Amino acid sequence: MAKSTGARCATARLRTIALIGIDGSGKTTQAYRLAETLTAAGYPATYHRNAGGRRWLGRAAHRLGRPDAQGLVGLDGMLVLESVLRWLAIAMALLGGLLTGRVAVMDRYAACQYASLRAQGGRRWERLVRAGYQLFPRPQVTFLLAVDPAEAYRRIERRGTDHESLGYLTAADLAYRTLPEYPTFVVIDASRRAEDVAREIQGHLAGWLAAGDGPAGRGPVRSKARMPGGASGLVPAQAWP
């Protein structure tokens, strides 16, 4: 099994990486950092923030005198809008990667929408949403940044740009862990310093880059890819395509 997996990787090219997890887990920080790291290592990458518009809807609700997005458009309306907006964002990001040949570093992906539906009591919409999102290929590597919901809540409150209830964060954390895709995720302990989290992510990807082809059409890299910070290592089984 390991031999055939490695053979597939040797002929594959890294195209899409997704970072997922609850709000406050550090997805945006790590996605930005990863796009810069890959580009510096010779694998041009672009950061894509595939937001579902909850923050924007919440701000619009406040301006209109409503407590939150749900108070503005109702639960079902919010879930539908969020699903559509995230679908459009992902589609544009994938199209951009296809046209430019750059690695797409996704800050949120389809799994985030499935988890959001479950956490907000909209599981009845999940089958329909999954049908719409089936158009998108599964990323070659999906990193789940895992952090205790209480710590995520403290981080969100410290940044002061938005707000999430501890109850929602707890429900979202459980939702990610119960998704059928969960066994395919590379779970990263995101409670540590950002530098340590980035080093572990880079270590997983260094093995992939050492075996794959470069985005500019180079042949297979024969030596281990060296990424900033000296990270290197083999990619775990669940990270191979």
CATH number (domain holding residue 131): 3.40.50.300
Domain-located, residue 16? yes
Q: How many domains does the chain have?
A: 1
Q: What pLDDT, on a 0 to 100 scale, did the predictor assign at position 236?
A: 33
Tokens matching residue 23: 């709000």
Residue with the bigger pLDDT between 144 and 2: it is: 144
Domain-located, residue 204? yes
Q: What pLDDT, on a 0 to 100 scale, did the predictor assign at position 6?
A: 40
**Helix 110-119 crosses helix 69-100 at what angle (to 10 degrees)?**
170
- State how far the Cα of 148 lies from the Cα of 197, in Å rounded to an integer: 15
Q: Percent of the chain at pLDDT above 70? A: 72
When mean pLDDT is compared across 50-54, 191-195, 197-201, the lowest value belongs to 50-54
- State how far the Cα of 12 lies from the Cα of 106, in Å rounded to an integer: 19
Assess whether pLDDT exceeds 60 at residue 226.
Answer: no
The backbone torsions φ and ψ at residue 144, rounded to the nearest 5 degrees and listed phi first, read -100, 110
Contact 123, 117 (CB under 8 A): yes
Bridge partners for 187 per DSSP: 144
Q: What is the signed CA dihedral for 162, 165, 168, 173, rounded to 10 degrees? A: 80
Domain-located, residue 77? no
Enumerate the H helices of 101-216 as residue ranges.
110-119, 126-133, 149-159, 166-178, 194-211
Domain-located, residue 43? yes
Q: What pLDDT, on a 0 to 100 scale, did the predictor assign at position 161?
A: 79
Q: What is the pTM of this model?
A: 0.79
Assess whether pLDDT exceeds 60 at residue 223.
Answer: no
Residue with tokens 């992939």: 208
Tokens matching residue 101: 């040949």
Residue with the bigger pLDDT between 39 and 60: it is: 39
Give residue 18's domain range: 2-49+103-239
Assess whether pLDDT exceeds 60 at residue 176.
Answer: yes
Domain-located, residue 168? yes
Domain-located, residue 217? yes
Residue with tokens 């639960």: 75
Strand order of the β-sheet with 141-146 is 45-49, 103-107, 16-20, 141-146, 186-189
The backbone torsions φ and ψ at residue 13, rounded to the nearest 5 degrees and listed phi first, read -120, 140
pLDDT confidence bin for 78, thresholds 50/70/90: confident
Q: What pLDDT, on a 0 to 100 scale, did the predictor assign at position 75?
A: 77
Domain-located, residue 6? yes
- Side-chain half-sphere exposure of 25, counting CA atoms within 13 A: 26
When mean pLDDT is compared across 51-65, 107-121, 206-220, 224-238, the lowest value belongs to 224-238
Domain-located, residue 24? yes
Across 148-153, average pLDDT: 97
